[in-house]
Amino acid sequence: MAEAGRLAAAVLAAGLGTRMKSRVVKVLHPLAGRPMIAWVLAAVRAVGADRVVCVVGHQRERVRDALSAVRGLEFVVQAEQLGTGHALQCAASALADFQGDVLVCYGDTPLLTEATLRAVVEAHDAHDAPATLLAAELDDPAGYGRVVLDGEGRVSAIVEERDADDAVRALTLVNTGVYCFRWPAAAPFLDRLSPDNAQGERYLTDVLAMLNDAGTPARVVRTADPVELTGINDRVQLAFAEAILRDRIRTRLMREGVTMLSPQTTLIDADVEIGPDTVLYPGVLVEGASSIGGEVVVGPFTRIVDAHVGRGAELQGWNYVARTTVPNGAILPPYLHQGAV
């Protein structure tokens, strides 16, 4: 069993994401005020990863710059994208002396939650397995790698759809791409990966088949919410993830005492702070590093950007407030633009 508290994470983020039809690398597309990959990094930090290795490739310097404020990140470069197994091989160079568990995630899965990742880590530790896989049951598993289990419910293999026969394609348990590896036990298998498959890549999933052949099969944790496995590959999926993340933010704030008269028309960025008994009218947008004190009224169709609104203030509507401070108890009449442009 790994030493208590020794958890690292490898976040695989080297791909360009050609289906985004963008000059910006996929993992830097914004979602609710954060780069896509920042949601994944926040989740792995929340479960206690004290080391986080980010595998970068396309636009690597741009990714590093965008994440410069994230504490303690280590970067390794995957110069050629030769598969998921190759990506973790690149991360292994930074984890050569690490003794513990390594949580593996992809930088384009921003809907993964702390609770789900914690379930994987806890199950992994409880079973003392060499690897634990997060899987999901899907009514329509098309496009996903299928998880093949043995008679005791452990992983025999993961078969990518392109390599699967009809019997395997009929399976509905799919791979989410999230793993937890007992690093000293699993790391040596990375060197045995082969590109002998339909895509000519080194599949990380083949490590689980090797562990099974060695008599130490991986365990499975099933996610309760398959939507969390959604990977972002195009603008349609980006909008889908945006809607879910925005809804999570609204739900959290309302449970903390914020009133939203029309939640679906109210857009709040992830790092915004709002005090209790504040009322937000329809069409309110609060962006960036903004904060709003308690007992504030924000009138309809008001936009607040990187600004602080003091306690008890009233913004009467159709206001634009950016990069400034609204004093406690202040009243802003309608159509007032205040702050730096």
pLDDT over 60 at 268, yes or no = yes
pLDDT range class, residue 1, cuts 50, 70, 90: very low
Number of C-beta neighbours around residue 341 at 10 A:
6
Indicate the pTM of the whole model: 0.93
pLDDT for the residue numbered 340: 59
pLDDT range class, residue 339, cuts 50, 70, 90: confident
**Tokens representing residue 58 in the block:** 């396309």
pLDDT over 70 at 2, yes or no = no
pLDDT for the residue numbered 341: 47
pLDDT over 70 at 5, yes or no = no
Give me the sign of the Cα torsion angle 227, 229, 233, 239. Answer: positive
Which residues pair with residue 311 across a beta bridge?
Answer: none
Q: What is the length of the chain?
A: 341
Ranges for all domains in the chain classified under CATH 3.90.550.10: 7-229
Q: How far is CA 264 from CA 34, 93, 261, 278, in A?
A: 20, 46, 9, 17
The three-point CA angle 37-67-76 to 5° equals 80
Q: What is the largest CA-CA distance in the chain?
A: 72
C-alpha to C-alpha distance for 260 and 282, rounded to whole angstroms: 8
Residue with tokens 């293999």: 157
pLDDT over 50 at 227, yes or no = yes
Q: How far is CA 208 from CA 10, 108, 137, 330, in A?
A: 17, 22, 19, 61
pLDDT over 90 at 272, yes or no = yes
pLDDT for the residue numbered 105: 96
Selected residue with higher pLDDT from 281 and 50:
281
User: What is the arithmetic mean of pLDDT over 319-329?
Assistant: 97
CA atoms within 13 Å, Cβ hemisphere of 103? 32
The three-point CA angle 50-74-108 to 5° equals 90
Specify whether the backbone of 33 is left (phi greater than 0), alpha (psi in -120 to 50) or beta.
left
Q: 3-class DSSP state for residue 165?
A: coil
Over residues 276-292, the pLDDT tens digits come to 999 999 999 999 999 99
User: What is the arithmetic mean of pLDDT over 49-73?
Assistant: 94
User: What is the arithmetic mean of pLDDT over 196-201?
Assistant: 79
Per the prediction, the chain carries an average pLDDT of 93
Task: Tell me the fold of 256-339.
Answer: UDP N-Acetylglucosamine Acyltransferase; domain 1 (2.160.10)
C-alpha to C-alpha distance for 172 and 319, rounded to whole angstroms: 51
Closest CA to 81 of 145, 31, 25: 25
User: What is the arithmetic mean of pLDDT over 29-41?
Assistant: 97
Q: Which residues of 164-191 are buried (b: 16+ CB within 10 A; e: fewer)?
A: beeebeebebbbbbbbbbbbeebbebbe
Number of C-beta neighbours around residue 97 at 10 A:
5
Ranges for all domains in the chain classified under CATH 2.160.10.10: 256-339
Selected residue with higher pLDDT from 97 and 252:
252
User: What is the arithmetic mean of pLDDT over 28-49?
Assistant: 97
Cα–chain-centroid distance for residue 132? 18
pLDDT for the residue numbered 318: 97
C-alpha to C-alpha distance for 34 and 289, rounded to whole angstroms: 11
pLDDT over 50 at 4, yes or no = no
CATH 3.40.50.300 fits 7-229, yes or no: no
User: What is the arithmetic mean of pLDDT over 102-118?
Assistant: 96
Over residues 149-190, the pLDDT tens digits come to 999 999 999 998 988 999 999 999 999 999 999 998 888 999
pLDDT for the residue numbered 197: 77
